Amino acid sequence: MEAYYPYLKSLHLIFVITWFAGLFYIVRLFVYQIEASQKPSPDKEILGEQLKIMASRLWNIITWPSMILALIFGLWVLGMRTFFLADAWMQVKLGFVVLLIFYQFKCHQIFKQLQRGEVKYSSNYMRLFNEVPTLILFAVVFLVILKSAVNWIYGTVGIFVFAIMLMMGYKIYKRIREK
179 is in an annotated binding site: no
Cα(48)–Cα(108) distance, rounded to whole angstroms?
A: 18
Say if residue 136 is exposed, middle or buried (CB neighbours under 10 Å; 0-12, 13-18, 19+): buried
Q: Beta-carbon neighbour count of residue 15 at 10 Å?
A: 20
Q: Is the peptide bond before 133 cis (omega within 30 degrees of 0)?
A: no
93 is in an annotated binding site: yes
Q: Beta-carbon neighbour count of residue 142 at 10 Å?
A: 16
Which DSSP letter does residue 58 get?
I
Nearest one of 25, 44, 22, 46 to 35, comparing CA atoms: 44
Buried b (16+ CB within 10 A) or exposed e, 148-169: eebeeeebeeeeeeeeeebeee
* Sequence ranges of the binding site for heme: 12, 93
* Sequence ranges of the binding site: 12, 93
